[in-house]
Structure 1
Amino acid sequence: MLEFLLCSLVTILPDYLYRRYGQGKRIGREITLYSMWFELRRGITACLILTVSLITMIFYFHPSTTNASTAFRTVTILPETGGRVAEVYVSRFQKVKAGDPLFRLDSTAQEAALEVADKRVAEIDAQMTVSTTELAAADGQIQTAEATLQQAQDDLGRQLELQQRNASTVAQREIDRLRQLVEGNRGAVAAAVANKQSLQTKISTLLPAQKESAQAAAKQARVELDKTVVRAGVAGTVQQFTLRVGEVVNPLLRPAGVMVPENAGRTTLIAGFGQIEAQVIKPGMIAEATCIGKPFTIIPMVITDVQDVIASGQVRASDQLVDAQQLARQGTITAVLEPLYPGQLNGVPPGSNCIANAYSNNHDEIEAPETGTGRKIFLHAVDATGLVHAMILRIQAVLLPVQTLVLGGH
C-alpha cells in the first residue's frame, strides 16, 4: 500500500491535475466512478507498473523476512555415568555458575574402589619399607659370606704351605675338601651380592613402578567418584529440573533436565531469507529488526555470516532412496545477524520471533570510476528505495502489538 501511494504521487496525481486544470474536468461530473478508468487510464496504468517494479526492486535488493528469531541452544543436564540420585543441590529456575554442583549420585561402589586403590598404595609403601630392611640384611649376609670365604681361603693356604714343606704331613683329600669349600663360599658370596642387587632393583624400579600404577588406579577411582557429583558446565539457568532423590538417571535415556546458558540467544539473531535473494545477502550488510518480545523498538544489526547451503536440501544416508519430491519444499538462506552496537538485544527474551530487513549498499560501486552513468543512476535508485522498506519496518513495529493483542485475540 505504501508503495502504491508513493507511485500514485508521480503518476495518478499528475494525470488528475492535468484533467482537472488543463481540461477542466471535475470529479463527480466529467470524472465519475464509471469514467475514472477512461479519464485516468494513463496514470493508473503507469502507477500499477511503477508499483510492481518498485515492490520488486525493494524486496529483491532489500530483503525482508518474518522468519527471524533469537535462537539459542540449551545444554542437557546429563551424568557421565548412570546411577541413583542420592542428593539434589538446586531447584528449577535457579541460576548457577560454571562448576556449581547440581546433584549427586550414589557413590558407594566408587568409594569402595577408591579405598581399595588407596590400600594398594599403602601396601606398596610397606613393601618398600620391608625391602629397605631386607637390603640391610643382605649387606650382613654378604659380610658373613665374605668372612667365611676368607677363612676357607686362609685354611687352604696354610694346608698348601704345609704340603709344600712336607708332602706327607697333609693328605691330598684335605686339600681337595678345602678347595671345594672355598668355591662353595665364593658362590655364597656371589649369591648374597646378587640378592642385594635384586633388592636394590626392586626398591629403585619395581616398587616405584607398582606404586605409580597403584596411584594411577587411585586417581582413576577418584575420577569415577567425582563423576557421581554432576556439576554445571556453563553458567546459566536450570530449567525443567524435576529430579528427586531416589530416581535413576542415565546418560542415554534419562536426562535430569535442561540448562539455558547465560548468554544464549542474547548476542545473535538467526534469520531465514528467501532463496531468490541468495545473490544479494552478503556478510557485512546493514540490517534492522523488530522483535515481538521488545515492541516499538528498531534494533540496528549487521549480517556477520551467511550459510552457504540450504537446509531443506540435505540428504541423510539411510536404507531408503530419497525421492526428489521430498526435497520440493522451498528452504531459506540462513543468515546470522549481530547487533550493530553491544547490548542492543538486552531485553529481548531468547527465542523471540522477529521481523528483519537487510539493506543493500552500493556506495563503493557507485564511486568506482569504471561504473557507467546509467548504472550509477540505477544503483542510486536501488539504495534510495531502502528508505521505503525502512518505513515499512517501522510501521510494522508500531502495528505488531496491535495485530498480536487486538486482531490476533491473544
Structure 2
Amino acid sequence: MKYLKPILLVVALAAIGGGLWIWWQHERIHPSTDDAYLKANVLTIAPQVGGAIDTVAVSENQHVKAGDLLFQIDTADLEAQVKAAQASYDAAVQQSSAAITDLSSVSGQVDSARAALTDAQDAYDRTEKLFKLGDVAQAALDQATAARDQAKAALDTAQAALAAARERAGTPGDDNAAVRAAEAQLTLAQINLARARVTAPVSGWIANLDLRPGTLVAPDMPLFSLVEDGDWWIDANFKETDLARLRPGQPVTVAVDMYPGLTLDGTVQSLGAGSGAVFSLMPPQNASGNWVKVTQRFPVRVSLGSRPDDPAMQLRVGASTTVTVDTSALDAAK
C-alpha cells in the first residue's frame, strides 16, 4: 500500500502527459481559431439621379430578388427634361434640313454663275476676233472684257457662299454634328428618367433602411445596404504559428456561434499576404526599444461549401464562427 500513492501519481502524470500530447497533436493537425467571422458581398444602394422619393417598396430585413423594385423617385422634373431634350432634337433636325435646302439653293446659284461666265467668255472671244479683224472698236472689246471679269467675280462669290453654306450644314441627315449632340442629350434624359426606378441589382436582404416617401435624395447618395445571398465566406484570423501547415484547398469545419450544433463544410481558399496589424489604419510602430513580442494573426479566406438546410437558419454577415482546418493530408503526403 505504501507504493500505491506513488504509482497513482505516476499514472496520473502519465495520463496528463498523454492527454497533453494527444491535444498537442490534435491542435497541430487541426489548427483552429474562433477569431473568424462570416462575410458576404454587401452592396450600397444609391440613386443615380436626384429628386423626392415617391415610393418605398421594401422594408428592413426584407428579402428581395434581382430586378425587384426598391424605391421610385418622382419623375415630374425628369419627364420635363425629356420633353425639352426632344424639342431640342427636333429643332436640330429642322435646322439641318433647312441648311441642306439652303445649300441646294446656293449650289444652283453657282451653276448659274458658271453658265454666265461661259457666255461672257464666249462673247469676249468673238469680240476679240472681230477686233483683230478691225470690224469692232476698242470700246466693244473693253465692254466684253468687263462683262467677262464681272462674271468671274460673280462665280467666285457664289462658290464662296457655297463653301460657307456647306460648313453651316455639316454632314446631312443623322450624321450631322448638331443632330448627334441633340440626340445624345435626349438619350441621356431618357436614361435618367429610367434611373428614377431603382431595382435590386442582385437578390439578398435589405439592411440599414431608413427611407421614407418625400425624402429628398441626391445622385450617388448612400441610402441603405443590400446583403447579397449568393456567395458567403469566412475571414478567419489564424496565429502565425499555424500558417506553416495551412494550404489552399484543405477541408475546413465551421461552427456558427448563433446556431449551436450547426456545422458547415468549407475549404481554405487563400492565405493573407500580411497580418491584420499591417493593414490597419494605424500600423503599430515601436522605435523606443521597449518591445514585447506578440504573436501576430493572419487572415485566411475560407469558402463555404455548404449552407444550412433549414431556411430559419439564415446566414448573417459578421456572425462569429469557429474554424478548424484538417491538415492531416499534409502529413500523409510526406
TM-score, normalised to structure 2's length?
0.79
Q: Whole-Å Cα distance in 2 between the matches of residues 329 and 108 of structure 1?
A: 62
Alpha-carbon displacement from aligned partner over 1:349-378 (angstroms, at most 9, x marks no partner): 32343333222221111xxxxxxxxxxxxx
**Alpha-carbon contact 1:312-1:330 (below 8 Å) kept:** no
Compared with structure 1, are the counterparts of its residues 336 and 249 closer, same or farther at alpha carbon in structure 2 (3 Å cutoff)?
Answer: same
Corresponding residue of 2:277: 312
Per-residue deviation, residues 319-349 of structure 1 (Å, max 9, x unmatched): xx9557899775533323334xx54444443
Residue 283 of structure 1 aligns with which residue? 248
Contact persistence 2:99–2:169 (CA under 8 A): yes
Letter in 2 for 1:98: A
Structure with bigger strand share is 2
Q: 1:119 to 1:294 in 2, by over 3 A?
A: same
How many residue pairs match? The answer is 324
**Which residue is equivalent to 1:387?**
none
Question: Partner of 1:397 in structure 2?
Answer: none
Q: Following superposition of structure 1 onto structure 2, how do residues 27-176 of structure 1 map, counting pairs within 5 Å?
A: 30=1, 37-157=5-125, 159-166=127-134, 170-176=136-142
Matched position secondary structure for 1:311:
coil
The counterpart of 2:332, out of the listed 350, 363, 378, is 363
Distance 1:69 1:36, change over 3 A: farther
One-letter amino acid of the structure 1 residue matched with residue 209 of structure 2: F
Secondary structure of residue in 2 paired with 1:296: coil
Secondary structure (helix, strand or coil) at the match of 1:55 reads helix
Q: Percent identity?
A: 22
Larger relative CO (CA 8 A, sep 6+): 1 or 2?
2
Question: Which residue pairs with 1:183 in the alignment?
Answer: 149
The 1:106/1:328 distance shift into structure 2, 3 A limit, reads farther
Question: Once structures 1 and 2 are overlaid, which stretch shifts more, 352-361 or 110-119?
Answer: 110-119
CA deviations over 1:105-125 (Å, ceiling 9, x no partner) = 345554444444333322221
Measured on the aligned residues, the alpha-carbon RMSD in Å equals: 3.5
Instruction: Decide whether the 8 Å contact of 1:234 with 1:261 is kept in 2.
Output: yes
Report if aligned partners of 1:264, 1:350 keep a CA contact under 8 Å in 2: no
CA pair 327-269 structure 1, distance change in 2 beyond 3 A: farther
Do the aligned partners of residues 111 and 299 (structure 1) sit closer, same or farther apart at CA in structure 2, a change above 3 Å counting? closer
- Cα distance per residue 1:298-325 (max 9 Å; x no partner): 434332222232213435479xx95578
SS at match of 1:72: strand
Q: Which has the higher helix share?
A: 1
Which residue in the other structure is 1:12 paired with?
Answer: none
Task: Say if 2:96 and 2:179, in contact at 8 Å, map to a contact too.
Answer: no
Q: Name the CA distance, whole Å, in 1 between partners of 2:156 and 2:268.
A: 84
Contact 1:237–1:260 (CA<8 Å) still a contact in 2?
Answer: yes
TM-aligned CA distance change 1:96 to 1:326, over 3 Å? farther
Q: Contact 1:312–1:327 at 8 Å: present in 2 too?
A: no
Measured in 2, the distance between the counterparts of 1:329 and 1:78 equals 42
Q: Secondary structure at the match of 1:140?
A: helix
Check the 8 A contact 2:266/2:306 in 1, yes or no.
Answer: no
2:299 paired with 1:334: yes
Q: Deviations over 1:244-265 (max 9, x none)?
A: 121123467x632221112253
Give the letter aligned to residue 192 of structure 1.
A
SS in 2 for 1:259: strand
2: distance between equivalents of 1:111 and 1:323?
61
Give the conservation status (yes or no) of the 8 Å contact 2:209–2:225: yes
* Residues in 1 aligned to 2:5 and 2:127: alpha-carbon distance in whole angstroms: 152
Counterpart AA for 1:186: K
Alpha-carbon distance in structure 2 between the residues aligned to 1:261 and 1:123: 47
Letter paired with 1:140: G
Contact 1:102 1:232 in 2 (8 A): yes
Given the superposition, is the C-alpha separation of residues 306 and 166 from structure 1 closer, same or farther in structure 2, using an over 3 Å criterion? closer
CA contact (8 A) 1:313 1:327 kept: no
CA contact (8 A) 1:98 1:235 kept: yes
CA–CA distance in structure 2, aligned partners of residues 135 and 327 of structure 1: 87
**Amino acid aligned to 2:253:** E
Structure 1 residue runs of 5 or longer lacking an equivalent are 1-29, 366-410
Q: Which has the larger radius of gyration?
A: 1
Q: Whole-Å Cα distance in 2 between the matches of residues 327 and 99 of structure 1?
A: 54
C-alpha contact 2:62 2:205 (8 A) present in aligned 1? yes
- State how far apart, in whole Å, the 2-side matches of 1:157 and 1:135 are: 33
Distance 1:161-1:355 versus aligned 2 partners, 3 A rule: closer
State the partner residue of 1:257: 224
Aligned to 2:206: 238
Cα distance in 2 between the residues matched to 1:355 and 1:136: 82
The DSSP-based 3-state class of the residue aligned with 2:86 is helix
> How far, CA to CA, are the matches of 2:190 and 2:15 in structure 1?
79
Normalised by the size of structure 1, how large is the TM-score?
0.66
Aligned to 2:40, the other structure's residue is in SS state coil
